[in-house]
Amino acid sequence: MSTDQDKHKVEAVKGSFVRNPTKFHDSISTSPDAKYPPEAGRYRLYVSYACPWASRCLMVRKLKGLEEVISLTITGYRLDNLSTSNSKSKESSKYRGWNFEKDQDKESIFYNPHGFEYLDELYEHAHPGYRKEYEDQGKRAVYSVPVLFDEKTQTIVSNESAEIIKMFNSEFNSVCLNPDLDLEPKGMVSEMNRVDAIVYP
């Protein structure tokens, strides 16, 4: 059965940008047996200002009043070895994702608790052998933002922006400043999904 996403799928053509599939799809939930409950101070959001999909997570975090609930780290502006990022050759191993700024002031938006130099280190820390899993399949590893990281278990909860914004909207209402704000009203869900399938295939 085809979906709206299937109908609007972007075919890879030379010179075009093709979004890579994301790997981490766990959920933060208010369910009593949830693996990841919505606790204030437990999670950290990693984003790049250059990524529009990551930026929508920043918007929802702000609108829902989650700044004091979910910590934030902004990456640097460099994507070193980007020319090899879509290569299946050994050269693709040089790709490491966004860099981190060397700013260890805990009040800075660039602060990253582990002191990592590049985003690939965060992925490998959370999921040892991450790069090798891709390379064993003849693929290049994907080091994308946003990343929603659980600082308690040192695990990536999700690196899918569409899922993260839904969690921010509905699962943190007990601890956010604007619990009555619903950014996904029931009467608009169908239309929102239709548009999203076009702009985020």
51 is catalytic: yes
| Per annotation, catalytic residue among 51, 63, 162, 197 | 51
Q: Is 54 exposed, middle or buried (0-12, 13-18, 19+ CB in 10 A)?
A: buried
Give 92-148 as a DSSP string: GGG---BB--S---TTSTT--TT--SBHHHHHHHHSTTHHHHHHTTT------S-EE
Interatomic CA distance for residues 2 and 4, integer angstroms: 7
Q: Angle at which helices 52-63 and 161-170 pack, to 10 degrees?
A: 0
Q: Is 16 exposed, middle or buried (0-12, 13-18, 19+ CB in 10 A)?
A: exposed
Give 75-90 as a DSSP string: --S-BTTGGGTT--SG
Q: Could you list the active site residues?
A: 51
